[in-house]
Chains A and B, each alone.
Chain A
Amino acid sequence: GAVVSQHPSRVICKSGTSVKIECRSLDFQATTMFWYRQFPKQSLMLMATSNEGSKATYEQGVEKDKFLINHASLTLSTLTVTSAHPEDSSFYICSASAPRGVEFFGPGTRLTVL
């Protein structure tokens, strides 16, 4: 299947700092990428839909000023968690839509805010 990478895989930061997570589709162009959040032993929760060249669409309850998304190219989307707090600690996963709607996921980024 297609390859989607995420960087970093793990990050620990102090409360109040911002963290940027990159998501790249390595072997196909993705017009649309998705960002998810996953708490332990729970399913994936969609945070936002990221479309190349336009503003991201956020799900209800997700603060767009808190979770900044930029989709600057067909192979790269970034999620910036601004002024992170301990409650933002979670597993963040991106996905990229390949042709015909098949969605491939990245390996995830474990964020820990101290």
Chain B
Amino acid sequence: GENVEQHPSTLSVQEGDSAVIKCTYSDSASNYFPWYKQELGKGPQLIIDIRSNVGEKKDQRIAVTLNKTAKHFSLHITETQPEDSAVYFCAATKGYSSASKIIFGSGTRLSIRP
């Protein structure tokens, strides 16, 4: 089955600097890669996603890149702000079917230093 690995597990960056979180997946059939942000005591929130027919997607300070050949994808946050502090999960799933299970990475705890 699919396996998603995520690095680093913890990340501390100075406010204003960039943060990068990397994930790899094992199943080449995976074609949808969402990223979730989870704040303490809350459910995960979808912040950006990318499909396998796209190499890069950007939404304001957040961007995601996908390398299908290498089977890895990354989240980039620029100009980090204190409110970016949270746990971030990458995920991978197959197909556009609503029955597709999402496989999560282990999470990255991002801390923004003032």
Contact = CB atoms under 8 A, between A and B. Distances in A.
Given A44-B89, A97-B98, A108 B49 contact: no
Contacts of A30: 98
Interface residues of B, number: 25
B44 A105 contact: yes
B32 A101 contact: yes
A112 to B, nearest CB: 13
Contact of A44 (B42, B44, B95, B97): B44
B14 interface: no
A8 interface: no
Contacts of B89: 43-44
Interface residues of A, number: 29
A34 interface: yes
A101 B96 contact: yes
A49 B101 CA distance: 8
B46 A103 contact: yes
Nearest to B9: A41
Q: Is the interface of B mostly helix, strand, loop or mixed?
A: loop
Contact of A101 (B42, B100, B105, B107): B100
Nearest to A110: B41
Contacts of A99: 98
Given A43-B89, A44-B44, A93-B43, A102 B105 contact: no
Given A43-B89, A103-B34, A108 B101 contact: no
Given A43-B104, A43-B106, A103-B46, A108 B41 contact: yes
B53 to A, nearest CB: 13
B85 to A, nearest CB: 15
Given A30-B98, A101-B97, A101-B98, A108 B42 contact: yes
26 contacts: A1-B46, A4-B43, A31-B98, A31-B99, A32-B98, A34-B102, A41-B109, A42-B107, A43-B89, A43-B104, A43-B107, A44-B89, A46-B101, A46-B102, A49-B99, A93-B43, A93-B44, A102-B49, A103-B93, A103-B102, A104-B46, A105-B46, A107-B42, A108-B41, A108-B42, A108-B43
Interface of B: 32, 34, 36, 41-46, 49, 89, 93, 95-102, 104-107, 109
